[in-house]
Structure 1
């Protein structure tokens, strides 16, 4: 056994199951027993079953694990939930010992780790440590791409207010729609442990606070940094949420990643105040953005990701970080053909409007 790598042993997975580790997904056969020569570090293992006609399930689940050199990790297929889980029967340590002694016989049943994309994967996970993985992974250890909710008893369902006139209900703002939705509770054991991001404003915010927070998010960023243990935690969360989305197609994780990116991109004052942090932030997103699906990377005024990155570049240049800005622009131009012209010119929509009044 080569002690410079780790090994993943999988038992009971059905024929044609989609199996993935990091950036490579394959359809396995009945002879598949796992993966060999896994390099030390953070890796995402995931799977998705297929129906009798060979169509992939919309449900995809997996786990993130920090593999160590010489480690043997054993997982089994749960037929009821159609996902990989920890071994439930027998003495796991004794089983690992037998596997280690018989690795040569298992060799032809083990797929070789995909080294073609190892550099790209390391760039997407270079802030993640074993401790960070443990901190953000769900309590159950399994990450699913669909949010699971606890059932809502009828007595807890929201009721309409009979004293509220119908005409008044109709003109409520979109912000109030949540009051009519069921008070569903997420099953926390199955969801990543992300930080709760501060809102830009609430019902008690003054008009001036709302306006300022929409123009520059420094107040929200300051509040967030005061609530989390360290700023590096947010960078770890940025990478964790992105690879969860990339590997499981979780809309919730994509949304969380988008909120963090939007928050950090739209503050000129934060770039000035936290320059070292922003250097790390830019280095992370430069590798993430080219991995976003093609439908999200169109260069247009309606693409919110493109708009946020343009705002970030402008804020960098206004704070003597032109070298970072130019490096990011070149990378995005080379990888996804994004270009950014007239960064320091005011957006016409932000300029004061002159209104002529006839007297």
Structure 2
């Protein structure tokens, strides 16, 4: 299951210096993964050994095998920062279908003293995927991952609950909503009867807030136009509110969102990744002023786009897709006067790489994909 072709001396060194994750009572048949690898567990599984120190993403989803067909539950995951020779123990909680991490120091020491006896039940860390994992998280620290993880401690598919508990007809009447026993007269009325949902408190990913208003208060019409085309003001607001002293941590947030989507299967994280990417790529003045941020962005995107399965782009990517239009703006801005020459050269190479790998044409005219602008009689425009 955890096969490796590692040299014996190297394996011994990793066994001595690597961290160990002991997972007790995990049912057979569960899908469990560490970082970039996933396995279906057998009856002898007790954990993972030889884990390199650093940040890791443990993810798992239980399966209901009692029914006629196997039902896979939504995936859960959490980021862990492991130290050399550290031993972490977790027990499977059957009622919650989740892992409970032990805080018992005596239990940890007892397991540490018996690691050699437990060795045959531990699978080695998949070192063949370590390089990929590091390339996806080199900007993400444990402190940042902890700050972005939900308060529940688990990254998972959105856990939604009704905003209002309207269980009785009287409750619905008090909120001026139609009764459930009345026949719907229209689709709108039917939709109105559905409960409005919100994410369960404590399960939300704690991403940076990106203001919907992209221009400063009191902006003139000319300034509104300017800041709507160049999102640098909006980007600076995000950096100032959360990453004033460490602006490059925004790249760590971009990596966090990508991992939560690619490995954790959280669509909300994909939407945030797209929003962050659009914000960064469409900030013309920031591209001139923040060379290090954008040199880092190119490196982050190079590895991220290299790990997305090719068939992922079949429906999402076309000539009028989000990625090509967003990156086209970036490649156009990076050629502007005042942009650092090193950044410009790296961007040109990155564009050539994407064109060759995905056959994306960044020089095509995308006017046909632009939003339609409607001018109303009073001069107000609506996209």
Which band: TM-score by shorter chain? 0.7 to 0.9
Match of 2:323 in 1: 305
Secondary structure of the residue aligned to 1:342 is coil
Instruction: Give the C-alpha shift of residue 337 in structure 1.
Output: 2.5
| Aligned equivalents of 1:349, 1:306: Cα separation in 2 | 11
Kept in 1, the 8 Å contact 2:328–2:363? The answer is no
| Aligned equivalents of 1:76, 1:147: Cα separation in 2 | 23
Change (3 A) 1:349 1:214: farther
Q: In terms of mean alpha carbon deviation, does 265-274 or 147-156 score higher? A: 147-156
Q: Residues 44-66 of structure 1: CA distance to partner in whole angstroms, max 9, x if unpaired? A: 00111123256452500011001
Among candidates 242, 245, 267, match of residue 258 of structure 2: 242
Match of 1:342 in 2: 363
Change (3 A) 1:342 1:332: closer
Match of 2:3 in 1: none
Among candidates 331, 334, 340, match of residue 316 of structure 1: 334
Instruction: Give the C-alpha shift of residue 246 in structure 1.
Output: 1.6
Instruction: Give the C-alpha shift of residue 349 in structure 1.
Output: 7.2
| Aligned equivalents of 1:284, 1:79: Cα separation in 2 | 39
| Aligned equivalents of 2:209, 2:237: Cα separation in 1 | 11
Change (3 A) 1:185 1:30: same
Change (3 A) 1:66 1:207: same
Among candidates 120, 135, 152, match of residue 147 of structure 2: 135
Secondary structure of the residue aligned to 1:111 is strand
Matched, 1:39 2:55: no
Gaps of 5+ in 2: 1-11, 179-185, 187-191, 374-383
Match of 1:85 in 2: 100
Equivalent pairs counted in the alignment come to 332
Matched, 1:95 2:116: no
Q: In terms of mean alpha carbon deviation, does 28-37 or 268-277 score higher? A: 268-277
Matched, 1:325 2:341: no
Q: Residues 276-319 of structure 1: CA distance to partner in whole angstroms, max 9, x if unpaired? A: 21111221111112223435435522221222122212222223
Q: TM-score, normalised by structure 1?
A: 0.81
Among candidates 12, 21, 27, match of residue 14 of structure 1: 27
| Aligned equivalents of 1:6, 1:109: Cα separation in 2 | 15
Gaps of 5+ in 1: 163-169, 171-178, 354-359
Q: In terms of mean alpha carbon deviation, does 235-244 or 321-330 score higher? A: 321-330
Kept in 1, the 8 Å contact 2:319–2:360? The answer is no
| Aligned equivalents of 2:82, 2:173: Cα separation in 1 | 45
Q: In terms of mean alpha carbon deviation, does 230-239 or 255-264 score higher? A: 230-239
Instruction: Give the C-alpha shift of residue 140 in structure 1.
Output: 2.2
Match of 1:166 in 2: none
Change (3 A) 1:332 1:161: same
Match of 1:186 in 2: 199
Secondary structure of the residue aligned to 1:62 is strand
Matched, 1:67 2:67: no
Kept in 2, the 8 Å contact 1:201–1:209? The answer is no
| Aligned equivalents of 2:172, 2:38: Cα separation in 1 | 42
Among candidates 232, 236, 239, match of residue 218 of structure 1: 232
Change (3 A) 1:70 1:150: farther
Among candidates 303, 306, 314, match of residue 290 of structure 1: 306
Match of 1:255 in 2: 271
Secondary structure of the residue aligned to 1:297 is helix
| Aligned equivalents of 1:26, 1:161: Cα separation in 2 | 48
The CA RMSD measured in Å over matched residues stands at 3.4
Secondary structure of the residue aligned to 1:196 is coil
